[in-house]
Amino acid sequence: MKKITLIITFVTIIVFVSGCKNATKPESVVANYLKAFKSFDLEKAASYTVSKTDPLLVLNVDIDKNDLALYNFYKSNAKKLTFKIKESRSYDSNAVVFVHCKYIDGTKFYERVIGEYLLRAMQFDFNGSNDDYDDLLNNVLKEMIPSFKSVYTERLIRLDCIKIDDVWMIEKITDDMGDILTLNLITVTNELGNLFHNPIH
C-alpha cells in the first residue's frame, strides 16, 4: 500500500512539473494572453507581459468601466477574435511567436467617427479646452456605435517574448498587436498623425 502511494505521489509530481513547463512555453504565454483579452480580462492579460500594465493603457487607450457604451463596445468585439499559433522560435532567453489573427476591423467606422468629430469641432471656439474636445470625441463615438457593422480582417503578427526567472513573458505590445486589441485604431491614428505632419500640397 505504501509503495502504491509513493508511485501515485511520484506520478503526480511528474504531471505537475510537466504542466508547469508547458505553461511557461512562449507560445503558451501568447495563447493565454490572447485568451485573456478575448474575455476582456485586461488584468490577467497584463500578467503575461513584462510591464504588467493593462494592454490598452500601454496603447494610450483608456476605457472607463463605468462608461458602459464604450466598455461593452470593445468587450463585445474582443470576443470575436480568433487566432492560431503558426510558429515559435526560441533563442536562449528570447523567443519569437508568430500568430495568425482574425479580428474585427473598425477602420471605416473610425474614419466616419473622425469625420463627424471634425465637423462638430469646427463649431467650437478657439477657447475650448482639451477636455472639451475629448468629451466631444467620446460622445461622437458612442452616438455612432449602434450603426457599427462587424467587418473581419486577418493579420499575421509577431510577438517577442523574453524569459525572466524561468518564466516566459511578452516583452512589449507592438502596433500590430495594438491594432488587434483596438480594432485597427492604432493604424488609423498613425495615418491621421502622418496626414497632419505631412500635409498634401
What is the per-residue DSSP string for 44-67?
HHHTTBSS---HHHHTT----TT-
The rounded distance, in Å, linking the Cα atoms of 96 and 173 is 13
At residue 86, the 3 state secondary structure works out as strand
> 95 phi and psi, to 5 degrees?
-150, 155
Residues 6+ apart with CB under 8 A from 176: 155, 157, 158
pLDDT of residue 59: 82
CATH topology assigned to domain 2-106+148-197: Nuclear Transport Factor 2; Chain: A, (3.10.450)
- β-pair partners for 163: 168
What is the Cα Rg of the chain in Å? 22
Number of alpha carbons in the 13 Å side-chain half-sphere of residue 119 = 7
- Stated as kind and residue range, the H or E segment containing 156 is strand 152-164
Integer CA distances (angstroms), 120 to 35, 107, 108, 158, 197, in order: 38, 20, 19, 39, 22
Domain ranges of the chain: 2-106+148-197
pLDDT of residue 1: 52
pLDDT of residue 13: 40
pLDDT of residue 66: 82
pLDDT of residue 55: 87
Strands 152-164 and 94-104: antiparallel
pLDDT of residue 123: 80
pLDDT of residue 61: 83
Per-residue pLDDT tens, the chain, 201 aa: give them: 544 544 444 434 444 344 444 447 999 999 999 999 999 999 999 999 999 998 888 888 888 888 899 999 999 999 999 999 999 999 999 999 999 999 999 999 999 999 999 998 888 765 666 678 888 988 999 999 999 999 999 999 999 999 999 999 999 999 999 999 999 999 999 888 765 545 443
